[in-house]
Amino acid sequence: MSMTADSLIAEFRSMSEAELERRFCGPAAAPALAPGDYTGTWLARIENAGKYKPFNFISQYLMFELTPFGISFRGDGSGIWYFFDPRFAAGEFVTSNTRSRWRNTDCLAMDYGQANLPGCVRDLLYDEIKVLSPQHAIGIGGFNQPTGEGDNFYFLLTRKA
């Protein structure tokens, strides 16, 4: 699949929630993403009870719908979330290949247990990604809560050139 980042983003932005769900639950194309910086693109909120909680809605709107975000992956399975630029790291994580806590699929879970953040924030964070290619992934962002509460939105990651 030879596709530019812009055309991939446009394709995913045009997908329905059901199509995004199918892509996330499909097979992973690679075991991990290539190390480097990835631009994050907000795709859609997930229709569930967690979507309507004021804290979830407001914080995710401000931090992901409005604010440019991304992820830097290191070659050792760790990385950082950032806003605007990788210099503005927001949370360190370690990935693990595991069964999704939110979907009937395997994924890369992002564990923030070692992040240099206040404990209440660190314990709240949890995300999952499905690798589409070594350069792209679809993710579910949200909080460390069960299905229907924690799984709040879809995002796309595209590796910066």
Per residue in 110-142, pLDDT tens? 998 887 777 777 888 899 999 999 899 999 998
pTM score, whole prediction: 0.91
Cα–Cα distance for residue pair 122/157, rounded to 1 Å? 22
- The confidence band for 3, taking pLDDT boundaries of 50, 70 and 90, is low
- Check whether 1 has a pLDDT greater than 70: no
Flag whether pLDDT at 2 surpasses 60: no
pLDDT at residue 56, rounded to an integer:
79
What does the pLDDT look like over 57-110, one tens digit per residue? 888 877 788 899 999 999 898 999 999 998 888 889 999 999 999 999 999 999
Architecture of domain 5-159: Beta Barrel (2.40)
pLDDT at 55: 82
Phi-psi label, residue 36: left if phi above 0, alpha if psi -120 to 50, beta otherwise: left
Q: How many other CB atoms sit within 10 Å of the CB of residue 157?
A: 22
Amino acid 69: pLDDT: 94
Q: Give the 3-state secondary structure percentages of the chain, helix then strand then coil, rounded to 5.
A: 25, 40, 35
Q: How confident is the model at residue 26, as a pLDDT?
A: 93
- Residue 157 — left, alpha, or beta (φ > 0 → left; ψ -120 to 50 → alpha)? beta
What pLDDT, in 10s, does the model give residues 5-42? 889 899 999 999 999 999 999 988 887 889 999 999 99
Contact, 11 vs 131, CB < 8 A? no
**Buried/exposed 13-42: b ≥16 CB within 10 Å, e otherwise:** eebeeeebbebbeeebeeebbeebbbebbb
End-to-end CA distance of the chain: 17
**Four-residue CA torsion sign, 3, 8, 11, 15:** positive
| Domain extents in the chain | 5-159
